[in-house]
Amino acid sequence: MKFLNKIQDKITYVRIIAVGYMTVILIGTLLLLLPPATRAGESTGILTALFTATSATCVTGLVVVDTATHWTVILLMIQIGGLGFMTLGVLLALILRRRISLRTRGILQESMNYMQLGGVIRLVKITFWGTFLFEGCGAVLLAVRFIPVFGIAKGILYGIFHSVSAFCNAGFDLMGGYSGKYSSFVEFHGDVLINCVLMALVILGGLGFFVWSDLKKNGCRWKRYMLHTKITLFTTVLLLVAGTIFFFLFENDNLLAQMSGKDKFLAALFSSVTARTAGFNTIDTGGLTGASKLLTMLLMFIGGSPGSTAGGIKTVTALVLVAYVWSNLRESKGVNMFQRRLDDDVIRKASNVVVLSMLMAVVSVIFICFIQPYLPVEDVMFEVFSAIGTVGMSTGLTRDLSTASRIVIILLMYCGRIGSMSFALSFTERKKVAPVQFPVEKIMIG
């Protein structure tokens, strides 16, 4: 019994989540290896299947083969990856009227990045109905536009697929058979309905399930929102507005040069939205200016919000660190935001997330450049930040990566989905705290 208790103590919530996603990826890989999974009816190579299963489960969108012309089934993995396997498992248990144990609630809390154990089941229900509502409305609106182009059956299918892909911030599309392989929505860069629906779904999916709950409870009364909701909404709007302005300035004489004023605005806004881990594109990503690529990398690194379908270090993490630095520069006591003081543990966690994510990105760039020195460093950086942010945008480099480089990208997508800090904790987390601490000694910084 003591032996079993020791094993149970070592199997922490973080490790269960990490193993859970790994299991889903392996099952998806096996399914994609089957001949019916491809349009040609032939078995795909194991690395291609593993890469695609990881990209779908981790809602990234990076592909080594065109989704529309190669695969027949991939939507279920996107939905599981977007909502999280624990969320769907608990939903199934609720439907079957099964009792949800305290341990399961704890795992679910960690999986959804929820702040407290109480109310986590209620949040799951809000997540389910909210997802059903948003994806359903998105599918209908997209189908209205796709049916005249693709016919009734295909138009409805395309509406459902792209609605789920957008809401889950996955970035997978089926436009390869219509406008050319890996073309995404370039042919629809001026279509107001498609652009607005996709952007709305991406933003809603990237806000986070806790924010939905807070908005549902308090409506438009800003003062009643939780601090987390205020930070999320503020940072999201700031990044969208700033991103749109900078994309417009950087690309006005480049990719946007031949577009009308309306199309320029749509393309700039879409680029700002999709870089926040969505992965679609309405302009040629490979043709972006150097400034636009760096801006995209920054937005990909930040990503969406905690407890959402999006990846990245998260909006709240980024703003907390900015506020921390600003407070130190002003020599303020504590970090205050929206008339509330942040807990020191929050700042420590935010610092860990950023440092670990950046460290993994830098090491990966160096490794890929070492084994494939002929690849442009700028494009390698773009690919790496896209993978660790689970974005899916690419300059076209994905298909040129070697086996070793693809394995690195697979690991980055996996780490990006479960979180860089969670990935590290899955190896290092311990229950015991050292009873004795080493003496303090000052060092020089800066």
Q: List pLDDT tens digits, range 224-274.
A: 998 889 999 999 999 999 999 999 999 999 999 999 999 999 999 999 999
The confidence score (pLDDT) of residue 2 equals 45
The confidence score (pLDDT) of residue 106 equals 65
The confidence score (pLDDT) of residue 237 equals 94
Q: Which residues pair with 53 in a beta bridge?
A: none
Residues in Cβ contact with 306 at an 8 Å cutoff, skipping those fewer than 6 apart: 113, 208, 210, 228, 232, 314, 316, 317
Distance CA 27, CA 20 (A): 11
Helix (H) or strand (E) holding 15: helix 13-32
Which of 71-85, 114-128, 191-205 has the highest average model confidence (pLDDT)? Answer: 191-205
Specify the pTM: 0.87
Distance CA 246, CA 275 (A): 13
Distance CA 341, CA 103 (A): 31
The confidence score (pLDDT) of residue 446 equals 65
pLDDT over 80 at 200, yes or no: yes
Distance CA 360, CA 378 (A): 17
Mean pLDDT to the nearest integer, 205-213: 84
Mean pLDDT to the nearest integer, 59-70: 87
| Angle at alpha carbon of residue 28, lines to 47 and 81, rounded to 5° | 110
Phi then psi dihedrals of residue 110, to 5 deg: -65, -40
Higher pLDDT, 172 or 426: 172
| Each residue's pLDDT tens digit, 273-287 | 999 888 899 999 989
pLDDT over 70 at 161, yes or no: yes
The confidence score (pLDDT) of residue 140 equals 95
**5: burial class by Cβ within 10 Å (0-12, 13-18, 19+)?**
exposed
pLDDT over 70 at 117, yes or no: no
**Lowest mean per-residue pLDDT among 81-85, 230-234, 353-357:** 81-85
Q: How confident is the model at residue 101 (pLDDT cuts 50, 70, 90)?
A: low
Higher pLDDT, 124 or 374: 374
Mean pLDDT to the nearest integer, 410-419: 86
Mean pLDDT to the nearest integer, 13-40: 84
Mean pLDDT to the nearest integer, 31-56: 88
The confidence score (pLDDT) of residue 61 equals 86
Q: How confident is the model at residue 3 (pLDDT cuts 50, 70, 90)?
A: very low
| Angle at alpha carbon of residue 368, lines to 363 and 372, rounded to 5° | 155
Closest CA to 431 of 8, 9, 143, 7: 9
Phi then psi dihedrals of residue 9, to 5 deg: -65, -35
Provide the 3-class DSSP secondary structure of residue 373: coil
Tokens of 198: 């996709």
Q: How confident is the model at residue 151 (pLDDT cuts 50, 70, 90)?
A: very high
